[in-house]
Homo-oligomer: A and B are copies of this chain.
Amino acid sequence: MATILHRFNRLRLRYAFQLSSHAVSSTTAAERAKGDRVFLGCQTLCRQHRGISGGAGEVRCLPSAAPPRLPFSCVTDEDLAFFRQLLPGRAITDPDMLESSNVDWLKSVRGNSEVLLRPRTTEEVSQILRYCNERNLAVSPQGGNTGLVGGSVPVFDEIILSTALMNQVLAFDGVSGILTCQAGCVLESLSQLLEERDFIMPLDLGAKGSCHIGGNVATNAGGLRLLRYGSLRGTVLGLEAVLASGQVLNCLATLRKDNTGYDLKQLFIGSEGTLGVITAVSILCPRKPRAVNVAFLGCSSFQNLLETFQCCRGMLGEILSAFEFLDASCMGLLEKHLKLTNPITECPFYIVIETAGSNAAHDEEKLHNFLEKVMASSLVTDGTVATEDAKIKALWSLRERVTEALTHDGFTYKYDISLPVEKIYQLVTDMRQHLGDRAKNVVGYGHVGDGNLHLNITSPTKDPALLAAIEPYVYEWTAAVQGSVSAEHGLGLKKRNYIYYSKTPEAVGLMGNIKAMLDPRGILNPYKTLPDDLRLPSTPTRPSPMTSGHPQPLQDPPR
């Protein structure tokens, strides 16, 4: 812990130094006036308080706040003319049309971009990036804009590069189950297409109706099926990405095994658009299970829930496809804000178990035996089981709609933490005690099977004092048990400076070198993922790299 605190103090010092020397952005009064419509993130707070260093009224910004704008070029009329010629009718500058792309889904982060580009092809993406790289224009790639860490919207005036029109399915092989498609395909559309062909997507998440598969891959999305089908690092077989230079990197293989050299696609999975723009993916899809059952159970303690999990893994084995939980506070929010009904008697903890298998009779027997055992031993106090689609969806919505219920409860501080499974609820209990009555609600839910807790703390309004009580407490608690401060949401803008709680300085340094190698000018999704102390300097005079057939290594140090 001492080392972690030391690292963090060092980080804060560096950060404070940056703040005191930063160039204030040009937020207008009109833009600020929009603030009452949205919950504004810390970076807006910083931007509104000019002259941050010293004096009365100083606002001490958190590491999640935006850093100063880097000296990228600003979009000129000449740039717009280029984009309009390249993308007729698809280079958007109308502020009303830009609005939804400038603000994240949680309305917690607002950018100020004046250009939204909607390419249809990889070649168009390549031309856009080649141009932007040469002109030193920053680019914020955007899929369905459903991210939770401010990674999918611009921070300042970055050009928004949307994959919304890149929504073509390129191939599906019904023998191997391998799907190849453009990055902008919506996850739910792909699921529907596959279900008709007796397959399913290997991932599923609450945002499926909006999120793009390219964004899923770029953020290494986890979701509800990871327990069964593993992470995208195993199921994504290939991808195509456009580098900052405009160079197209075609790694779009459709093979389960390929050990010919380094696995470059892994660089782009989970790098949140900072190393390249993913334009297409190929993904291995499992067969659609013939039988699906969902059980919604109640437990009187988290210890009982953990024992139920252990028993479940043994007795349901290969048919277990999800083991999720929510606490009583989550259920209260679902009832209060979304008028959902608790299908069982009130309990401190609720479990959603899903089975998916090839033989309905076998699966029902396994589930029956399991339920009999956990009820007889009082591990589970009440429960209900669904086998029909409509009831399955209703039970799942109790778990999937917690995020939505929270948005109605006030300002929400969100944490997505990986922990050793036996510790995942202790953090909620400790946080509740730590905050006392300063928080409105402290709730926990998430993926027990993956050791992944979603800790959410609500407050009637944004409350810097509450935030100061939460952070760095939550990160220190996590680091002390070797957890991850971002299990599946990524780092984006909001969490970038907390990376040292989960990664060593050597590892972060190497990440910086990779960024410098692939995006030497740092135009791709700046201010995201990597911490501010690794920020690459903008070097407008540096020649554009990697324009020849073979990429050239960086010739200047990145810092």
- Let me know if A418 is at the binding interface, CB within 8 A: yes
Interface-located stretch among A82-90, A162-170, A245-253, A371-379: A245-253
Interface-located stretch among A57-65, A73-81, A182-190, A228-236: A228-236
Residues of B within 8 A of A287 (CB): 313-314, 317
Docked CA distance A534–B553 (Å): 12
Residues of B within 8 A of A351 (CB): none
- Contact partner of A553 (CB less than 8 A), chosen from B261, B451, B517, is B517
Docked CA distance A158–B258 (Å): 28
Docked CA distance A220–B219 (Å): 23
Copies of the protein in its oligomer: 2
Interface-located stretch among A44-52, A137-145, A484-492: A484-492
- Let me know if A505 is at the binding interface, CB within 8 A: yes
Residues of B within 8 A of A256 (CB): 226, 231, 418, 450-452
Q: Look across to chain B and name the residue whose beta carbon is closest to the beta carbon of A363.
A: B362
Pairwise interchain contact B506-A255, C-beta atoms closer than 8 A: no
Interface string of A411-426 (1 = CB under 8 A from B): 0000000111110000
- Let me know if A512 is at the binding interface, CB within 8 A: yes
- Contact partner of A266 (CB less than 8 A), chosen from B233, B249, B357, B512, is B233
Of A235, A247, A259, most buried by chain B (CB within 10 Å of CB) is A259
Interface-located stretch among A267-275, A393-401, A435-443: A267-275
Pairwise interchain contact B255-A484, C-beta atoms closer than 8 A: yes
Pairwise interchain contact B550-A505, C-beta atoms closer than 8 A: yes
| Contact A230 to B226, CB < 8 A, known contacts A506-B250, A516-B553, A549-B505 | no
Pairwise interchain contact B362-A549, C-beta atoms closer than 8 A: no
Pairwise interchain contact A510-B315, C-beta atoms closer than 8 A: no
Q: Distance (Å) between the CB of A4 and the closest chain B CB? A: 13
- Contact partner of A257 (CB less than 8 A), chosen from B226, B510, B518, B553, is B226
| Contact A255 to B418, CB < 8 A, known contacts A315-B358, A362-B366, A510-B249 | yes
Interface string of A93-134 (1 = CB under 8 A from B): 000000000000000000000000000000000000000000
The tally of residues in A whose CB lies under 8 Å from a CB in B reads 105
Pairwise interchain contact A550-B506, C-beta atoms closer than 8 A: yes
Pairwise interchain contact A261-B516, C-beta atoms closer than 8 A: no
Residues of B within 8 A of A337 (CB): none
Docked CA distance A197–B512 (Å): 41
Q: Look across to chain B and name the residue whose beta carbon is closest to the beta carbon of A419.
A: B255
Q: Distance (Å) between the CB of A308 and the closest chain B CB? A: 13
Docked CA distance A399–B558 (Å): 52
Q: Distance (Å) between the CB of A40 and the closest chain B CB? A: 25
| A residues 278-332 touching B (CB-CB < 8 Å) | 287, 289-290, 310, 313-319
- Contact partner of A259 (CB less than 8 A), chosen from B230, B260, B488, B498, is B488
- Let me know if A511 is at the binding interface, CB within 8 A: yes
- Let me know if A1 is at the binding interface, CB within 8 A: no
- Let me know if A176 is at the binding interface, CB within 8 A: yes
Residues of B within 8 A of A251 (CB): 503, 507
Residues of B within 8 A of A502 (CB): 253, 258, 260
- Let me know if A359 is at the binding interface, CB within 8 A: yes
Pairwise interchain contact B263-A551, C-beta atoms closer than 8 A: no
Q: Look across to chain B and name the residue whose beta carbon is closest to the beta carbon of A513.
A: B553
Docked CA distance A5–B47 (Å): 57
| Contact A422 to B257, CB < 8 A, known contacts A287-B313, A507-B250 | no
Interface string of A548-559 (1 = CB under 8 A from B): 011111111110
Q: Distance (Å) between the CB of A530 and the closest chain B CB? A: 7
Docked CA distance A553–B554 (Å): 8
Residues of B within 8 A of A249 (CB): 504, 506-507, 510
- Contact partner of A506 (CB less than 8 A), chosen from B247, B290, B422, B534, is B247
Known: A226-B257, A512-B550. 11 other contacts (CB 8 A): A247-B506, A255-B483, A256-B452, A257-B451, A258-B484, A260-B484, A289-B317, A290-B317, A362-B365, A512-B551, A553-B554
Show 30 A/B contacts (Cβ-Cβ < 8 Å), sorted by A: A175-B420, A175-B422, A176-B420, A226-B256, A230-B230, A231-B234, A233-B233, A233-B263, A234-B234, A247-B506, A253-B482, A254-B482, A255-B418, A255-B483, A255-B487, A257-B484, A259-B486, A261-B499, A261-B507, A261-B530, A263-B270, A287-B313, A315-B358, A317-B359, A318-B319, A505-B550, A509-B549, A552-B557, A554-B554, A555-B556
